[in-house]
Structure 1
Amino acid sequence: MRSLNLHLKILITLLVGLGILITAYQIFILGIPLTEDETDDLWNIDARVEFQASPREPVKLQMFVPPLNQDYVSLNESFISNNYGVSINRANGNRKVTWSARRASGKQTLYYRLVLTKRYSGEQAKSEGPIFRDSIPVEGAEKIAAEALLAPIRQHSADVETFISETIKRVNNANDDNVKLLLGGDASTAKKADAIELLLSIAHVPMERVHTIRLATEIQQNPELWLRSFNGEKWLYFNPDTGQQGMPNDRLIWWIGDESLVSLEGGKQANVSFTLSNSEMNAIRLAKLTDENTDADFLEYSMYSLPLSTQKTFQIMMVIPIGVLVILILRNLGGLQTLGTFTPVLIALAFRETQLGFGIMLFTIITALGLSLRSYLEHLKLQMLPRLSVVLTFVVVLIATISLFSHKLGLERGLSVALFPMVILTMTIERLSITWEERGGGHAFKVAIGTLVAATLAHLLMSVPQLTYFVFTFPAVLMILVGFMLAMGRYRGYRLTELFRFKAFLKD
């Protein structure tokens, strides 16, 4: 007996633990929304390119576009132009679009449009990058100034991260004569980045320029320069002006390297302006779009990968265990008497179509008339199978009659009574009549009321949209329910109704 108890406890622990782990993985790792109404940000980015085309010359304009191998995923990308050919090339971790035309004249306007959202999958590709670089050649006064700056930097740093932070801090000290010499009177961000790169190269620390766009609306957008270096495990990002470490969450990497955003042949005065807008979309719908537009498997192995018609069927099926759990609690803990365990759940499913009040009324009418017929057939001394056949036929005729009169009276809801399982109604009538014969009409009435109460409570719980969504989206919670049901299976204590029945014994 002890080994059986231990086996049951281990099984319950495994089921509950596995259910919690799978559900937690879907919520925290895959990022599946907890509620159906949850929304996620959707960003629309427009890059407008304007330039003057030179007459009688072919035009070739190249512009960097986001590599999209980061924390964002593209839902739509379009290149809008008039009479231009478009091609996209990849090189050194960047993507570059090329617009080309044989002839163009006057002012030209091209558009690049991107719709993106946060990447759902938490799985990121393993970072790779250089951990050593050659020094940039430097002579004369610049070399002396660089060595003078590097001495305290080496002294005040312990690793690559602190070395870069200290370097940026030193270069941003405008009162240092060595810094003034390296900057040459130009304190722009680009010039500071050159000085930082020079100092880091002497120490053989690799560095890359990263150009970003801030995901924000109603501000003038220009690519913002950041620096990054690989420490052997991950990329470290730094702001060359402030020394801030760590790329903010609202930055989108547009391109990496020293090149300009746009290069133009056959024209002049190329200018790029950015416009951003933000909207919200239902999170689960956005997840489906993510799966469709990328190779991500966010919903690949979930119920959402099924055909839509099948999904609707499973949305009903997945809440049946919830109804069964309600009946289990009412019977094992509450002591409520019903016609078995599954009959109330099936009746509760029928209430989804007829609605609760109308369904209870129809169930009561059909069951009462069926019991009357069953009582009459009992006097004819028929065997069980012919008797059930007659009752089933009577139920079909009664359902058809109610549907017909409901339609004539304009009560279209009455037509849904046909969705009541006829066999279930027939067996309900048969079992109620047997209960009546064996234990009296009072007990049969009590069981019928208990069945209706249980079916009503199960229906109310199974009809909660948030619960239906949660169980359908996170089916592993059913493993937790099974664990609870197994625990309930060993309950041998009093039912709630028995406390009232044996109240007299407690007084004695």
Structure 2
Amino acid sequence: MRSLTLHLKIIIAILLALGIAIISYQVFVLKTPLKESEVDNLWTIDAKINFEVKGTKPVSIQFYVPPKGGDYAVSNELFLASGYGQNVTNQQYNRLVTWSARAVSGQQTLFYRLNLTKRFSDEIENSTKGDMWRSPIAVAGPEREAVDRLVKDIRSKSANVSTFITTTIHTVNDPNNSDVQLLLNNKDSIESKVKAIELLLSHAYIPIQQAHTLQLSKSTNQSPILWIRSYIEPNKGVDNRDSSINGTSGNWYYFNPTNGDIGLPDDQVVWWIGSDDIINVENGTKARVNFSLDKSELTAINLAKLTAEGSNLTEYSFYTLPISTQLAYQIMLMIPFGVLIILLLRNVIGINTLGTFTPVLVALAFRETGIVFGMIFFSIIVFFGLLLRSYLEHLKLQMLPRLSIVLTFVVMLIICVGLFSHKLGFERGLSISLFPMVILTMTIERLSITWEERGANFALKVAIGTLITASIAYGVMGYQPLIYLVFTFPAILLLLVAFMLAMGRYRGYRLLELFRFKAMLK
């Protein structure tokens, strides 16, 4: 007996640990929302591409699109390029779409649209390592002397790679530094400053990359923003050889080339990496890209549906199923909670019902008819069915013919009640046909047997207990926040099974028995 108890406790502990682990993974790793009412921002970005072809020529367009991964998940991509062939290529840091056509002439317009959301991000970007060393960019003459002086000065003011980069940025943005002005050659654009920053960092053997971002704000004509980034690992000094960077692990660090701030703001999304232009058109001129951004809010369940198909981590989600199948699964997943209610009401409270699963099936029927009409129709059909069953008892029929007659009578009664309610304007009465006819027939049979064996009062108590239990189960099984939780986190059923196993050893008094034996206790 002691080994059996230990065995049961081990099973319960395993189920609890497994269920909690799966749910925690969904919540903290996949960022799955706990509430259906929780909303998140969904950004829709339109890229309008225009260019001109003089004459009739074959055309090839290469356009950078955002990589899948990182802080934002890409979904619902739409490429609109009528008459063009299309190919999307995954590169080390970018994705490149290529459109091509044999003969094109005149003004051309292509569109690209996508949705971005922070939900279910795979964070692929952070797992891609970058170069840790680069050779210096060749420079000679006065520029070389200026670079040597600037690098020496920056090294004296910095302690590691990250501070060396920020100091370099501040130095390049100093309008009073004559060495910097020599390198910029009187050009004050951000592109010229980034080239100067890259030149100086190369002589400290520090590689950087250009990162082009979009700001997530409602706008109709936005241009990409230029950032720089560098992959930094621990124990790297100002020349990538020693020292440390405050103990941080290897990662990509983004720097604002105008003020040296570290880290991308939350409203920035990386569109492409590198010094190439966002678009390159072969045999085309005057190529330009206009970005339009719009924001909408979606509930958690809609975000889950939107991103489930695009994420490897959620490819087995229920949200990838067809809608009709999802609705059926939602009903199926709630049945164990109806059984749990019956378990508590029977074993803890002490309410008598007609079996274990009959109230659950009646509760499922209440989902179609509604609780009020369902209870009324259930009572009417069972009442008249009991009258018929009582009459058939006097005929001394065998059980199978008796059940067949009761079933036929139930069908006829359901039809009559449906027609009568329709004439009175109660359209919900038509849903009575969804009641399981066999269940109603067996309910009538079992109630009549209980009536004969235990008396009318006990049969009435059982019927009322069945209705009460079915009503409570209907309320729990139809509670929308619980439906969302179970459908989104099906591992909750493991916790439910663990609780049922624990209840399987309950041998204590039921609450109604305390009232029953109240006089004896006194």
TM-score (norm 1): 0.87
**Residue 264 of structure 2: SS of its match in structure 1?**
coil
Cα pair distance change 1:154/1:494, threshold 3 Å: farther
SS in 2 for 1:68: coil
Contact 2:175 2:181 in 1 (8 A): yes
Amino acid at match of 1:344: P
Q: How far did residue 199 of structure 1 move?
A: 1.7
Per the alignment, residue 275 of structure 1 pairs with 292
Query: CA separation of 1:388/1:271 partners in 2, compared to 1, >3 Å: closer, same or farther?
Result: closer
Tell me the CA shift for residue 90 of structure 1.
6.4
Aligned equivalents of 1:436 and 1:241: distance in 2?
88
2:260 aligns to what?
Answer: 243
Q: CA deviation at 1:318?
A: 1.2
Q: Which residue of 2 aligns with 1:166?
A: 167
CA contact (8 A) 1:58 1:266 kept: yes
> Match of 2:390?
375
Q: Tell me the residue number matched to 2:210.
A: 209
Task: Give me the whole-angstrom Cα distance separating, in 2, the residues matched to 1:86 and 1:331.
Answer: 64
Partner of 2:236: none
Relative to 1, partners in 2 of residues 1:192 and 1:306: Cα closer, same or farther, differing over 3 Å? closer
Cα RMSD over matched residues?
3.1
* Alpha-carbon spacing, 1:164–1:447, altered in 2? closer, same or farther (3 Å): same
1:9 alignment partner in structure 2 = 9
Q: 1:88·1:97 contact (CA, 8 Å) conserved in 2?
A: yes
Matched, 1:332 2:350: no
Quick one: distance in 2 between partners of 1:436 and 1:348?
23
2:324 corresponds to 1:309? yes
Alignment-derived partner of residue 45 in structure 2: 45
What corresponds to 2:515 in structure 1? 500
CA offset at residue 140 of structure 1? 3.6
User: Does the 8 Å CA contact 1:319/1:468 hold for their aligned counterparts?
Assistant: yes
Q: Which residue of 1 aligns with 2:109?
A: 110
Distance in structure 2 (CA, Å) of the matches to 1:492 and 1:156: 76
* 1:430 is aligned to 2:433: no
- The answer (yes or no) to whether the contact 1:66–1:253 under 8 Å persists in 2 is no
CA pair 257-297 structure 1, distance change in 2 beyond 3 A: closer
Deviates more, 1:297-306 or 1:88-97: 88-97
**Structure 1 pair 397/269, CA: closer, same or farther in 2 (3 Å)?**
closer
1:290-341 Cα offsets, whole Å, 9 max, x none, are 455x4x3455323334444333322222111111111111122212222222
| 1:99-498 equivalent positions in 2, closer than 5 A | 104=105, 108=107, 110-118=109-117, 120-125=119-124, 126-218=127-219, 221-231=222-232, 233-263=250-280, 269-281=286-298, 283-290=300-307, 294=310, 296-297=311-312, 299-498=314-513
Which amino acid is the alignment partner of residue 252 of structure 2?
W
Q: How many Å separate the matches in 2 of 1:176 and 1:77?
A: 48
Contact 2:451–2:459 (8 Å) recurs in 1: yes
Any conservation in 2 of the 1:64–1:255 contact (CA below 8 Å)?
A: no
Cα distance change of structure 1 residues 64 and 159 upon mapping to structure 2, 3 Å threshold: farther
Q: Matched residue of 2:294: which SS?
A: strand
Partner residue in 2 for 1:64: 63
Cα deviations across residues 29-76 of structure 1 (Å, max 9, x unaligned)?
A: 33444444555433333334456665x585857453224333331413
Residues 354 and 453 of structure 1: CA distance in aligned 2, closer, same or farther (over 3 Å) = same
More displaced stretch, 340-349 vs 140-149: 140-149
- In structure 1, the residue corresponding to 2:139 is in which secondary structure? coil
Kindly indicate whether the alpha-carbon contact (under 8 Å) linking 2:44 and 2:116 is maintained by their aligned counterparts in 1: no
Structure-2 separation of matches of 1:50 and 1:302: 40
Per-residue Cα deviation, 1:368-407 (whole angstroms, up to 9, x for no partner)? 2222223333334444444333333332332233234334
Secondary structure, counterpart of 2:349 in structure 1: coil
Q: Distance in 1 between matches of 2:305 and 2:213?
A: 28
User: Alpha-carbon deviation of 1:505?
Assistant: 4.7
Q: What's the TM-score once normalised by structure 2's chain length?
A: 0.85
Shift of residue 487, structure 1, vs aligned partner: 1.6
Per the alignment, do residues 48 and 421 of structure 1 end up closer, same or farther by CA in structure 2, a change over 3 Å counting? closer
Q: How far apart, CA to CA, are the structure 1 residues paired with 2:137 and 2:490?
A: 58
The answer to which of 224-233 and 296-305 deviates more is: 296-305
CA–CA distance in structure 2, aligned partners of residues 277 and 51 of structure 1: 24
Say whether the 8 Å CA contact 2:45–2:293 is kept in structure 1: yes
Alignment partner, residue 27 of structure 1: 27
How far off its partner does 1:453 sit? 0.7
In the superposition, relative to structure 1, how do residues 59 and 311 fare at CA in structure 2: closer, same or farther (>3 Å)? Answer: closer
8 Å CA contact retained: 2:23, 2:492 = yes
Cα deviation for residue 128 of structure 1 reads: 2.9
Counterpart of 1:195 in structure 2: which amino acid?
A: A
Aligned-partner Cα distance in 2 for 1:41–1:314: 28
C-alpha displacement of 1:192: 2.0
Conserved 8 A contact 2:120-2:307:
no
The separation in 2 between residues aligned to 1:212 and 1:281, in whole angstroms, is 24
SS in 2 for 1:198: helix
CA deviation vs aligned residue, 1:445-489 (integer Å, no higher than 9, x gap) = 122111111111111111223322322232211111111111222
1:87 and 1:455 map into 2 onto residues whose CA distance is: 57
Q: One-letter code of the match for 1:64?
A: F
CA–CA separation in structure 2 for the residues paired with 1:373 and 1:389: 12
CA shift for structure 1 position 429:
1.9
Q: SS of the counterpart of 1:318?
A: helix
Q: CA 1:34–1:238 in structure 2 vs 1: closer, same or farther (change >3 Å)?
A: same
2:19–2:495 Cα contact (<8 Å) kept: yes
Q: 1: distance between equivalents of 2:354 and 2:51?
A: 80
| Larger mean Cα displacement after TM superposition, 276-285 or 490-499 | 276-285
Which amino acid in structure 1 is aligned with residue 251 of structure 2?
K
Q: What do residues 105-138 of structure 1 show as CA deviations (whole Å, max 9, x unaligned)?
A: 5xx3524332222264443433032221111122
Which SS does the other structure have where 2:42 is aligned?
Answer: strand
Could you tell me how far apart the structure 2 residues matched to 1:424 and 1:265 are? 73
